[in-house]
Structure 1
Amino acid sequence: MKALVVYDSAYGNTRSVAEAIASSLEGLQASSVPVGDFKPGALAAGDLLVVGSPVNGWRPTPKITALLSALGDGSLKGVNAAAFDTRVRMFIHGDAAKKITHALKAGGADIIAEPMPFYVKGSEGPLRDGEIEKAGGWARTLLTSLRS
């Protein structure tokens, strides 16, 4: 079984989270992949697809949105999936991870975890203290979900 952590990143924060998730998926052939390099045909039933995006205008980035639209034809049937986003901690903010989760489910994926936010300082980051460790912990919960 393999795992692909597909991401778009404006300032490197989402990339850092994606890399932390991929490196924590022990026992899987896991890698982080920029959205422009992702090949949907690389996934098979039983694989894990994790998609991450910064919140961009209250939603995922246009590149992630385009990818999800292309996967909306049921091509993710049998693929396990989860989503995350990077965002600023504010009273009101967008929720890209929830929108990604809905799109993955519409594409036929089996959602194995609730969407996960990771927080940055200011609009460009860096990530808040503890967020990389949080990414590793979340990755381990994904592994637990896959094995149960």
Structure 2
Amino acid sequence: MKALIVYESMFGNTEKIARAVADGLGDAFDVVVADVGGRPALADVDLLVAGAPTHAFGMSRPGTRADAARQDGARPGAAAVGLREYLDDAPMLPGIAAAAFDTKIDKPFLPGSAARRAHRRMRRLGCRMMLAPESFRVSGTPGPLAAGELERARRWAGSLASAVAERHGV
């Protein structure tokens, strides 16, 4: 089976989570990890996993990415395209298994989630959602990731792989 993990990452934290998710899926899937800026194709995908940082309580917009890009440590070119635009341009994906994650500042009771918004958009595209959206914590806007988050991402991916395998009767 083939899994595509698409991510948007301003400072590299969401990319690190995406790669940890790929590690967690690796035994069960042929995994491709791709930045949304490259507009990766969705052909022949059995599982779509989408990840993005939470900006202004949800998925980033051109303005929030431009604001983040002005900060020290922002990756060159990261502000050009986000997960919002990628999903807006995606074809219908009926029946494809999907899951979403985000990275967000590690503060209690901070509202909003890019993952929940991506989850809803993928559902509207016809995806069937395998796990609830998941948030991974960063210590501040540029990071780093909070302790233990990479391992937690691998475990989350393992749960996702099990859910997909159960669904496919594998």
TM-score strictly above 0.5: yes
What corresponds to 2:54 in structure 1?
55
Unaligned 5+ residue runs, structure 1? Answer: none
- Following TM superposition, the consecutive aligned residue runs of length 4 or more in structure 1 with deviations greater than 4 angstroms are none
Counterparts of 2:42 and 2:32 in 1: how far apart (Å)? 15
Question: Does residue 96 of structure 2 align to residue 97 of structure 1?
Answer: no
Which residue identity does 1:87 align to in structure 2? K
TM-score by length of 2: 0.80
Q: TM-score, normalization: structure 1?
A: 0.92
Deviation, 1:123, is 1.5
Contact 2:54 2:60 (C-alpha < 8 Å) held by counterparts? yes
Name the amino acid aligned to 2:43: A
Aligned to 1:134: 152
Contact 2:106–2:146 (Cα < 8 Å) also in 1 = no
Corresponding position: 1:69 with 2:68? no
Q: Whose radius of gyration is greater, 1 or 2? A: 2
Residue of structure 1 in register with 2:102 after alignment: 85
User: How many residues are matched?
Assistant: 144
Paired residue type of 2:132: E
Report the counterpart of residue 37 of structure 1 in structure 2: 38
> Alignment identity in percent?
35
Q: 1:107 to 1:36 in 2, by over 3 A?
A: same
Q: Which residue of 2 aligns with 1:13?
A: 13
1:121 to 139, 144, 165: 139
- Name the CA distance, whole Å, in 1 between partners of 2:53 and 2:161: 23
